[in-house]
Structure 1
Amino acid sequence: MKKINAAIIGYGNIGRYVLNALESAPDFKVAGIVRREATPIEGINYPVVTDVTALKDVDIAILCVPSRHIKAYATEMLEKGIHTVDSFDIHTDIAAMRRELDVIAKKNNRSAIISAGWDPGSDSIIRTLLLAAAPKGITYTNFGPGMSMGHSTAVKAIDGVKDALSMTIPIGTGQHRRMVYIEIEEGLDFETVKSTILNDDYFKKDDTVIQQVDSIEPLKDAGHGVTITRKGVSGSTDNQLFEFDMRVNNPALTAQILVSTARAATKQMPGAYTMIEIPIIDLLPGDRDELITALV
């Protein structure tokens, strides 16, 4: 079996878990890690480079970079003839980014799967299935309580923030509060930094509470979760109630979904996709007939 040669782009929290998931997968091998500096990483024996072209025969790039940088990285990789997968999580921008990357992917005869984390991503599949089961009704997605990696990263990128943690607290019926804890650089004004955060796209539509702390470290916990509830109608039958619930290590699950979706990306026709558009069986390794026999 020819293994899929995967490059990890970015080696932060997600990148580390992606490496672990790739090493555990039977059909992948690690081509190397691309980061801003090509300094060796303790305990890592794979090539560490600053440009993906320094790696050999890369089939797919797994983008482990902040959401605001994903489009640029995806464009670069696709134009170099490399499939891509990412966990872009700015929900309101997903459709537009898919349209833009679709043109680039088709032009370069490659595929890109975007927003392949657990939400958006695998949770999107759950919501789609529940909609098919009860076409009329209401779905509520309640996140947390837990650390939001995307929101935490967004806060860390704001000038004056030394470190940050954004917690998502469910308050019911799909509504959430963002509890944001920040360390700020010495000499900077907390109220100025706070105002910038509140006006950021990640936070300006949410109920957000910001607190200054001396250190983020004692507050960190990678646990997260989601409960998806749909109450609706199947045909003309009322009172159909469905609930999906999970409690997870956030970066570990995101990384595993990225690796599974990277596998699927190599099986698609050229173009850009979200997870609800690809055959779910393509996420799995192994013989298709054997998978159908085991799972259907």
Structure 2
Amino acid sequence: MVQAGPSRPTRRTALRKEGTGNIRKRRRQDEEESEASSNEEGSVDQHSTLTEKAAQKLTAEELERKIKDVVRLALFTEFRKQPIKREEIVKKVLREHSRAYYEIVFDKAQERLEDIFGMRLAELPKKSFGTGGARKPVNNKEKTLKTYVLKNVLPQEYKETDIINWGKNEQDIMGLLTVILSLIHVNGRVLSNDQLTHYFRRLYLDGNDKFDLEKVLSTFVKQGYLDRQKTSGTDQSQNSEQDPLEYRWGPRAKIEMPENNLIKFIRALFGHDVPPDFDKQIERSSGIELAS
């Protein structure tokens, strides 16, 4: 005699109980897998953080080498009369250690430059005028470029010309630069190309075999001693093949040549024939008030 199976309601109840048990089991498995995965990811993140911290640690020997590398880089770029940028220091010297070690390496390199070479890295200011030659008021708190040049910080008694061993050509070039900066300074801090050409003629420099003036001026601009800008004037001569230009002090000149030293140079050019109102003339022409 064949026994009848469970009734439909009974089967549905059994299936429902079995299904509920399987669902609970799967949920427990999912939770366990999720927890294991979370622990694994946390372990990976923790390992990555520890690796990053370990990579940022430098031994005393490695730190010393990076300080020397910054000093060498600064001297090399200065020899080529090129500025050195913060990004260049990071890329060529510090690399992955830049965030943790930039300040300490930079400061130690500054101390080494001053103690051994009598120089420091000085940050270049931004230009104090806009495009087209439009002048802006000079602000004592000029923003900087995170770009540096080496500045002589030796005491004044060690800056005398008879101590410095200038090459003949270099001495002539720097003398010409000082004259140009002086002319810009006493002409309201800006000098047009026509005015500069006029002064060159009066100084018998135009057509002088010693200087290729266009090349020298371009070199001064490239090195940052001069800023050369096209003027915004519209009254140009129709026969002119070149845009009118204006010259101002460049950022390197502002770092290397204090205005007071330049005024002493101008005064020395007069010798015993210094005008009695010399200071007043300088104040009017340059727009600065001289200390009495």
Common topology (TM > 0.5) = no
TM-score by length of 2: 0.22
Using CA pairs under 8 Å that are at least 6 residues apart, name the structure with larger relative contact order, 1 or 2.
Answer: 1
Structure number with bigger Rg:
2
* Greater percentage in helix: 2
Greater share of strand: 1
Question: What is the TM-score normalised by the length of structure 1?
Answer: 0.22
